[in-house]
Structure 1
């Protein structure tokens, strides 16, 4: 993809999402940064503006699926099309099976799974209006079927289902390029200060999937390499 694409990032106000917005804006792309509240949107937009980068801010709570249709209509009215959707917003509640409650599971699935499913559905028509529409789902190795492990039950289930949805969506919409990626254990609020990878490194692969000219579809990536589901 050449610079100047319209790219929407959910959960773009902090962590990996914010870094994606920064890197993409630095490349010259038109970035739509979303966050759950107007104050979080404004704070992130100002932080980037202070470094000389301009992005468009929009309020979006990915757990509120009922708001997606109106949001998509607003984006269509402003831009007419969308080149890339990065489903980045997510939560990590660390309960094991024995401590898991229905509330925690419901909250996790609403944000990490239902949000990307129904938000993608609303924006796919705008992605089809692009000459090269793409969806990038930020997932995790914690949801891989080939290397499933203990603890973090709700999070693991949500990411395993997101991976399955990614593959399903790539078959359902062959004119789009649709992939998932694992950013790694990154030094964010979610990953913790002891994480091995920088935020810049964590954002590298989803940014690459958004803008690199030649990529396949229906794959799971880590450090720009295809890995097993």
Structure 2
């Protein structure tokens, strides 16, 4: 087991990508804390891990609330004695054409997708620095590396806010790797391509989802969408000691997005 007896926090851990990561980490021996704003989804997600023989607990957490995050990290340390791994996965999207993007659209995306990564890492860093060990993995996006057209391929609007936030996550990863590296903490990033998750349908009709997914298949060298397990596995690499000499790196897990190559 690559994470035997490690304590891991996964934000947005109760569904989609976060749940796949939580499941894999628990299977690899970690005690997983699912931190999610969707409080109703937490009990079922935790129970499914326990039913599979893993260790898990959950907590309702809003990654945009700095004071709440500091209290949450303190509680995890009080319960488990340490925090070894933080996966910054929580995210939202508001696809809007640039001309009609509102301040509210911009703020919610930047607050959750970028500021949330900063706040969560800032809250966990003192605990990791104190123990001279830590693994932080940030979830960015292929949209953080290149623009995509809007109102095409099942995308209802532009991605200015989302792409800006995810690009920021990549640069934040590099700067945090520099600051925390001397204290034994690695900070790396995953940039996913196209995966079918509840997130895919958050701003699309069922017809738009299918159009979007078919288009994305056509832009991928491997000719198919990825599975959540194929995304969780590279996250495990960064969270484990297999990557002990890797930091500040962004790994594209996108099946070879031809429009990004």
TM-score (norm 2): 0.79
Cα contact 2:186–2:248 (8 A) shared by 1:
yes
Task: Give the CA deviation at 1:103.
Answer: 0.3
The whole-number CA distance in structure 2 between the counterparts of 1:95 and 1:141 is: 18
The whole-number CA distance in structure 1 between the counterparts of 2:3 and 2:90 is: 25
Task: Give the CA deviation at 1:96.
Answer: 2.3
The whole-number CA distance in structure 1 between the counterparts of 2:6 and 2:53 is: 19
The whole-number CA distance in structure 2 between the counterparts of 1:111 and 1:2 is: 27
1:168 to 2:175 alignment: yes
Q: Which has the higher helix share?
A: 2
Q: Deviations over 1:102-148 (max 9, x none)?
A: 0010010111011110111111011224453111000011112xx34
Partner of 2:87: 86
Task: Give the CA deviation at 1:65.
Answer: 2.8
Partner of 1:219: 249
Point out the more displaced range, 84-93 or 194-203: 194-203
Q: Deviations over 1:9-42 (max 9, x none)?
A: 0000000100000011011111111111432211
Task: Give the CA deviation at 1:152.
Answer: 0.6
1:1-229 → structure 2 map (5 Å cutoff): 2-130=3-131, 132-144=133-145, 147-150=146-149, 151-174=158-181, 175=183, 176-191=185-200, 192=209, 194=213, 196-214=225-243, 215-223=245-253
Q: Deviations over 1:86-114 (max 9, x none)?
A: 00000122112122110010010111011
Structure 1 residues without counterparts, runs of 5 or longer: none
TM-score (norm 1): 0.89
**How well do the aligned residues superpose, as a CA RMSD in angstroms?**
2.1
